[in-house]
Protein backbone atom coordinates (compact mmCIF):
# COMPACT_ATOMS: atom_id res chain seq x y z
CA UNK A 1 0.00 0.00 0.00
CA UNK A 2 1.06 3.55 -0.65
CA UNK A 3 0.92 6.68 1.43
CA UNK A 4 -2.67 7.11 2.71
CA UNK A 5 -3.74 10.71 2.13
CA UNK A 6 -7.35 10.34 3.21
CA UNK A 7 -9.61 7.53 4.38
CA UNK A 8 -13.22 7.41 5.40
CA UNK A 9 -15.27 4.43 6.54
CA UNK A 10 -18.97 4.26 5.73
CA UNK A 11 -21.26 1.73 7.38
CA UNK A 12 -24.29 0.76 5.32
CA UNK A 13 -27.35 -0.84 6.80
CA UNK A 14 -28.29 -3.79 4.61
CA UNK A 15 -31.60 -2.23 3.72
CA UNK A 16 -32.40 -0.85 0.29
CA UNK A 17 -34.15 2.25 1.72
CA UNK A 18 -31.10 3.61 3.52
CA UNK A 19 -28.58 2.61 0.85
CA UNK A 20 -29.43 5.58 -1.40
CA UNK A 21 -28.73 8.22 1.27
CA UNK A 22 -25.54 6.47 2.34
CA UNK A 23 -24.42 6.21 -1.28
CA UNK A 24 -24.83 9.97 -1.71
CA UNK A 25 -22.73 10.62 1.42
CA UNK A 26 -19.96 8.37 0.07
CA UNK A 27 -20.00 10.09 -3.33
CA UNK A 28 -19.97 13.53 -1.68
CA UNK A 29 -16.82 12.51 0.20
CA UNK A 30 -15.18 11.40 -3.06
CA UNK A 31 -16.13 14.69 -4.74
CA UNK A 32 -14.60 16.65 -1.82
CA UNK A 33 -11.34 14.74 -2.17
CA UNK A 34 -11.20 15.14 -5.96
CA UNK A 35 -11.46 18.92 -6.22
CA UNK A 36 -8.22 19.09 -8.24
CA UNK A 37 -9.57 16.84 -10.98
CA UNK A 38 -11.30 18.82 -13.71
CA UNK A 39 -12.57 15.71 -15.51
CA UNK A 40 -13.80 13.95 -12.38
CA UNK A 41 -17.56 13.92 -13.10
CA UNK A 42 -17.53 11.03 -15.63
CA UNK A 43 -15.26 9.12 -13.25
CA UNK A 44 -17.58 9.78 -10.29
CA UNK A 45 -20.52 8.52 -12.38
CA UNK A 46 -18.57 5.30 -12.97
CA UNK A 47 -17.82 5.07 -9.24
CA UNK A 48 -21.55 5.42 -8.53
CA UNK A 49 -22.23 2.29 -10.61
CA UNK A 50 -19.43 0.38 -8.92
CA UNK A 51 -20.53 1.31 -5.40
CA UNK A 52 -24.14 0.44 -6.24
CA UNK A 53 -23.03 -2.99 -7.48
CA UNK A 54 -20.81 -3.59 -4.43
CA UNK A 55 -23.63 -2.64 -2.07
CA UNK A 56 -26.24 -4.61 -4.01
CA UNK A 57 -23.96 -7.62 -3.79
CA UNK A 58 -23.78 -7.12 -0.02
CA UNK A 59 -27.55 -6.79 0.36
CA UNK A 60 -28.25 -9.85 -1.78
CA UNK A 61 -25.59 -12.24 -0.58
CA UNK A 62 -23.95 -11.37 2.73
CA UNK A 63 -26.86 -12.16 5.04
CA UNK A 64 -25.65 -9.64 7.62
CA UNK A 65 -27.32 -6.41 8.80
CA UNK A 66 -24.39 -4.09 7.95
CA UNK A 67 -21.64 -3.76 5.40
CA UNK A 68 -18.68 -1.43 5.42
CA UNK A 69 -17.31 0.66 2.56
CA UNK A 70 -13.81 2.06 2.98
CA UNK A 71 -12.85 4.89 0.64
CA UNK A 72 -9.10 5.37 0.62
CA UNK A 73 -7.09 7.96 -1.27
CA UNK A 74 -3.42 7.05 -1.60
CA UNK A 75 -0.67 8.84 -3.53
CA UNK A 76 -2.16 8.36 -7.01
CA UNK A 77 -4.84 5.78 -6.29
CA UNK A 78 -8.41 5.57 -5.11
CA UNK A 79 -9.36 2.33 -3.38
CA UNK A 80 -12.90 1.19 -2.65
CA UNK A 81 -13.14 -1.71 -0.20
CA UNK A 82 -16.48 -3.35 0.55
CA UNK A 83 -16.22 -5.48 3.69
CA UNK A 84 -18.69 -7.68 5.49
CA UNK A 85 -18.64 -10.68 7.80
CA UNK A 86 -21.37 -12.52 5.95
CA UNK A 87 -21.26 -15.67 3.88
CA UNK A 88 -18.06 -16.16 1.86
CA UNK A 89 -18.15 -15.74 -1.92
CA UNK A 90 -19.88 -18.53 -3.79
CA UNK A 91 -19.47 -18.64 -7.55
CA UNK A 92 -22.27 -20.52 -9.27
CA UNK A 93 -21.68 -23.42 -11.62
CA UNK A 94 -20.58 -22.51 -15.13
CA UNK A 95 -20.81 -25.02 -17.95
CA UNK A 96 -18.92 -28.09 -16.66
CA UNK A 97 -17.34 -26.38 -13.62
CA UNK A 98 -18.96 -26.96 -10.22
CA UNK A 99 -19.64 -24.20 -7.69
CA UNK A 100 -16.58 -22.53 -6.18
CA UNK A 101 -16.83 -21.49 -2.53
CA UNK A 102 -14.31 -19.62 -0.41
CA UNK A 103 -12.02 -20.50 1.15
CA UNK A 104 -11.08 -22.30 -2.06
CA UNK A 105 -9.46 -25.69 -2.13
CA UNK A 106 -6.04 -26.49 -3.51
CA UNK A 107 -7.55 -27.60 -6.82
CA UNK A 108 -8.40 -23.95 -7.64
CA UNK A 109 -5.30 -22.19 -6.33
CA UNK A 110 -3.05 -20.90 -9.10
CA UNK A 111 -5.79 -21.25 -11.73
CA UNK A 112 -8.03 -19.10 -13.87
CA UNK A 113 -11.71 -19.98 -13.91
CA UNK A 114 -14.59 -18.62 -15.92
CA UNK A 115 -17.04 -17.15 -13.43
CA UNK A 116 -19.87 -16.36 -15.84
CA UNK A 117 -20.68 -15.11 -19.27
CA UNK A 118 -23.19 -13.03 -21.11
CA UNK A 119 -23.58 -12.57 -24.87
CA UNK A 120 -20.69 -10.06 -24.96
CA UNK A 121 -18.30 -11.02 -22.14
CA UNK A 122 -16.69 -13.75 -20.09
CA UNK A 123 -15.80 -12.90 -16.51
CA UNK A 124 -12.70 -14.71 -15.26
CA UNK A 125 -11.24 -15.06 -11.78
CA UNK A 126 -7.51 -15.64 -11.46
CA UNK A 127 -7.04 -17.36 -8.10
CA UNK A 128 -3.60 -17.00 -6.57
CA UNK A 129 -1.82 -19.40 -4.22
CA UNK A 130 -3.32 -17.65 -1.16
CA UNK A 131 -6.84 -18.11 -2.54
CA UNK A 132 -7.44 -14.46 -3.47
CA UNK A 133 -9.30 -13.78 -6.72
CA UNK A 134 -8.53 -11.11 -9.32
CA UNK A 135 -11.40 -10.59 -11.73
CA UNK A 136 -11.02 -9.63 -15.38
CA UNK A 137 -13.31 -9.48 -18.41
CA UNK A 138 -12.79 -11.00 -21.83
CA UNK A 139 -14.81 -9.61 -24.74
CA UNK A 140 -16.65 -12.11 -26.95
CA UNK A 141 -17.43 -11.62 -30.64
CA UNK A 142 -21.16 -12.09 -31.03
CA UNK A 143 -23.04 -11.25 -34.19
CA UNK A 144 -26.29 -12.81 -33.00
CA UNK A 145 -29.20 -11.24 -31.18
CA UNK A 146 -28.62 -10.21 -27.57
CA UNK A 147 -30.98 -11.94 -25.17
CA UNK A 148 -31.49 -10.53 -21.70
CA UNK A 149 -32.59 -13.89 -20.30
CA UNK A 150 -28.99 -15.05 -20.09
CA UNK A 151 -27.78 -12.40 -17.65
CA UNK A 152 -25.76 -14.15 -14.94
CA UNK A 153 -26.06 -13.95 -11.17
CA UNK A 154 -22.60 -12.39 -11.26
CA UNK A 155 -23.40 -9.76 -13.91
CA UNK A 156 -22.61 -7.01 -11.38
CA UNK A 157 -19.07 -8.38 -11.16
CA UNK A 158 -18.71 -7.87 -14.93
CA UNK A 159 -19.74 -4.22 -14.47
CA UNK A 160 -17.27 -3.75 -11.60
CA UNK A 161 -14.38 -5.51 -13.38
CA UNK A 162 -14.89 -3.48 -16.56
CA UNK A 163 -15.17 -0.16 -14.71
CA UNK A 164 -12.27 -0.67 -12.24
CA UNK A 165 -8.55 -0.54 -12.72
CA UNK A 166 -8.44 -3.79 -10.72
CA UNK A 167 -11.11 -5.78 -8.89
CA UNK A 168 -10.17 -8.40 -6.29
CA UNK A 169 -11.69 -10.56 -3.59
CA UNK A 170 -10.02 -11.74 -0.39
CA UNK A 171 -11.61 -13.90 2.29
CA UNK A 172 -9.99 -13.41 5.69
CA UNK A 173 -10.63 -16.86 7.13
CA UNK A 174 -9.38 -16.00 10.62
CA UNK A 175 -11.76 -13.04 11.05
CA UNK A 176 -14.44 -14.39 8.66
CA UNK A 177 -14.43 -11.17 6.61
CA UNK A 178 -15.13 -10.75 2.88
CA UNK A 179 -13.10 -7.97 1.26
CA UNK A 180 -13.90 -6.81 -2.26
CA UNK A 181 -11.41 -4.22 -3.48
CA UNK A 182 -11.52 -1.90 -6.49
CA UNK A 183 -8.45 0.17 -7.31
CA UNK A 184 -8.22 3.15 -9.66
CA UNK A 185 -5.21 5.04 -11.00
CA UNK A 186 -6.08 8.69 -10.41
CA UNK A 187 -3.48 9.86 -12.92
CA UNK A 188 -5.70 8.38 -15.65
CA UNK A 189 -8.66 10.45 -14.41
CA UNK A 190 -7.07 13.91 -14.53
Residue 146 has pLDDT above 70, yes or no: no
Cis, peptide link before residue 125, omega less than 30° from 0: no
pLDDT, tens only, 177-188 = 999 999 999 888
CA distance 132 to 143: 35
- Assess whether 69 and 114 both reside in one domain: no
Question: What's the predicted TM-score (pTM) here?
Answer: 0.90
Residues 33 and 104 in one domain: no
H or E segment and range at residue 3: none
* pLDDT digit string, tens, across residues 98-126: 899 999 988 899 999 999 888 888 999 99
- For residue 23, the enclosing domain spans 4-84
Kindly state whether residues 64 and 15 are assigned to the same domain: yes
Same domain, 51 and 108: no
Residue 50 lies in a domain: yes
Amino acid sequence: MGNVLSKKIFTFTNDSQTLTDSLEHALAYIREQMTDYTKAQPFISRLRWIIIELLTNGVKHSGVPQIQLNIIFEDNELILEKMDNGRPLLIAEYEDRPKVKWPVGLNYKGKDIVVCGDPLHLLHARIDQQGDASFFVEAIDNDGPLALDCVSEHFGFIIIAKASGSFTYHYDEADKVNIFRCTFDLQKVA
